[in-house]
Structure 1
Amino acid sequence: MSNVSDIPEFDHKSFLKNLTRQPGVYQMYDHAGKVLYVGKAKNLKNRVSSYFHRGGLHPKTQALVQRIHSIEITVAASEAEALLLEQNLIKAQRPPFNILLRDDKSYPYIFLSDGEDYPRLALHRGPKKMKGRYFGPFPSAGAVRESLQFLQKTFRVRQCEDSVFRNRSRPCLQYQIGRCTGPCVKLIDPEAYAADVRHTVMFLEGKNESLHEELVEEMNKAAENLEFEKAAAHRDQITALRQVQAQHSAESGSGNVDVIACALESGEVCLHVLFVRQGRVLGSKSYFPKDPLGDNESGILGEFLAQFYLSDRAMDIPAEVVISHPVEEADALVEAVRQARGKSINLCDSVRTHRAKWLAMAIEAARQNLRTRLGSQQTLLKKYEALQVVLQLDEMPERMECFDISHSSGERPVASCVVFDRNGPVKSDYRRFNIEDIQAGDDYAAMEQALTRRYSRLQKEGKSLPSLLIVDGGKGQLGKARQVMQELGIQSIVLLGVAKGTTRKPGFETLILEDGREQVLASDDPALHLIQQIRDEAHRFAVTGHKQARDKLRRRSRLEDIAGVGPTRRRQLLNHFGGLQEVMRASVDDIAKVPGISKKLAQEVYSVLHSE
């Protein structure tokens, strides 16, 4: 294998000498041919040259440049086309130095059906193929459910499935508790129901003042006609509407606006998006791009906007986008959105009145969320540093794996493997192992089998090994781990056993070090807290897997273990006797009377069902 020092440096001077000044896209690759970064430029020569200046580069940019082995160029007809091509390449290749939005789910909407006497309200996500109106997008399904809950209590428009609605013979519980008017059994006429639908639409469109005035007028009219129950219902709607307006004091103005703020601190970034529709703040969402290449808010915000509005995610693009920092090449982004999405947007970073209030909210949320994230990361970092000191490691562990075994008196043993890196749990790398062909209750054999399967596979696939392996158990479990590592020829992994201690209470665990020494840490030691967190997560993951495997086994019919008895014969046996218990009580002659069951097969069924 060649050393990194043997790899020739990228000859940027020769490359830049003949590079075009046209707009286009550049792709940077490492020596293995893997893409590192995809960028677009109004002037390719000027942009690519900026990476090779002698000074002033951000450390992350320097790290990128050091890994460049080759650069490929694609010329575009315009800057906007270059931006569209860049986003397509990022989506297809997912380069490590680009901002990657991992939330690819479409945004949820509130859907109001159309073309029927009693329309339905519902949460909707995905293509808008159904006939009706869509209100949103909302930042999360939780925000939709909160709005639907308010609408159900206030205007009582049905939210049940159409299949349920069409087959009701009496009103459901929602009618009993006053959250539905019983349209399924015609307890409300279509005209009165249409009024409730109209009020719902007015609320969703942000016409709260007009809605309030209409409800007051209807309340007074009902009172004059001595319809006091109807007047009281309108009074309750007015009260609920005012309470919502008080909770959303930021509501003012009108129109559809996305407000996006960027906060940058200690190399970490938070981008907070505020969704405003019809003048109402529907909610917000924070994004934390991993390792952004940009070294200022404007550059990071520009990358984010391109992905946010040029992706395939199903969402409405508002006419106005308010941003916390000006972005370069804003005109190219606006044109690219017009070409790709058929929408015209206005990017604005200088606003007044209610838009300024929305922007201030987004900026403060971005800062607070970023500080919270940094605080949690710093706490985790302190735990890792403490663990390094306790285990006398040369450096903090980059990746840790912990194994645990779970079973019920030896039944269906399952081993779990959980993975932590310096950012906490890496749940996508968690694994479970169904343990087979061992003596019931032999935890040592179970641990040996799980470790062998895990690390032989990692070696075979050439994947990274952990720097620290933790096993839940004492010297015996740790000995098995050491034996497996020796058989596989792995010497780079530090081993650690965690025994529960004599009291078997949290805080009194005994650490079994690789050389056999035992150590008990103080209950407030950050290293112990980290070990407990990893061990508890491994235990939780193992127990969950074991219960699933055990329950699946217990749900399995004993008839499935009989050769010659397939699904059809099992069904005939159960139907003939009325259930498995009755089959077990039957004699051989009784079983032989079932159609399709011979005397020989009846004897086999009887023997299996009555075996130990």
Structure 2
Amino acid sequence: MPEIPKFLIQKINRMPAKPGIYQMKDREGNIMYIGKSKALKSRVKSYFSIQGKSEKIERMLFHIHDIDYIVTDTHLEAQILECTLIKKLKPIYNVQFKNDQNYRYLKVENYNKIKPVKVISDREDANCFGPYRNKKILSNLEKLFQNIYPILKHGDSYGFFYKILPEAMKKDAFEENKQCLMEILSKEECMLRFISEIEKKMKLAAAEFHFETALIYKDLLYHINYLYDVSIKKAEKLKWEKILMGEKIEDGYKLFYISSEIIVLKQKYKEIKREAIEEFIIRAKKLENNRIEIKNEKSNLDFQYILHAEMKDKSSKAILFLDKEYNLEELVNKLR
């Protein structure tokens, strides 16, 4: 562990126990790493503890000459600022967020007897799904699919079975298989039926002592659940919603107006009152109507990921869906 300069120890000790981001700098002033925390002081201190660190962290610590920080009102804002700066500056020791151009799409192909689904780099047409952050899972799924085609409709569910070698499909089977894939990848109820069918086949294979086949289905289940968790399950509810989120902070309250998974307006208040919230919503709706949407799906995906994850933590937040009928008193009471 390299010796920590005295001025750096003093600087760390002066850091507040508040949300924000920190920037590790080398001797030339280059930002090597950007991180975020709900409590800056304790997080930055943890890097210099005696406990074992990874080789990568040890290398970074050796080159740290200075640490800057920016305080934010909330952890959500710290995460968004961290993501924004990583994308802009691409620090050498950061991995997450800076390579969003590597995110991939799944495309359901027109007639292709062996590979009805393929992984592609950019959206091409309405038959593309994504983007997805984990291209390894997509590549594995593309291969796993090849051994269960064709997927055919059986009543309200889907029929398929595992084959050791891929099976070339005739035109009519291909078209039905394509329709099934489009349903599974775009509709929650269809994907859930498909997941249920995989689970049944996995359990049946295990019960009949076909353990290798059961493992294949288990692998397929894991990869399909990834698609469900990161696209349909998380995004479907919020994609078209208008949401008011309030959070109690150290010196008051913070309001966020979210529309189509984008923060349109945020405002800090010392006190939370119904009249102030109503005025905030009016301002937000005006901004929403005049907003020019930046269509960078891959970059936006990271910010959506942060927003979804943060909204699941309701310990200090109140969330109100602004549908035709909503009760502002409900939000006020939750925050107080």
* Alignment TM class, shorter chain as reference: 0.3 to 0.5
Bigger Rg, which one: 1
**TM score, norm. by length of structure 2:** 0.43
Q: TM-score, normalised by structure 1?
A: 0.26
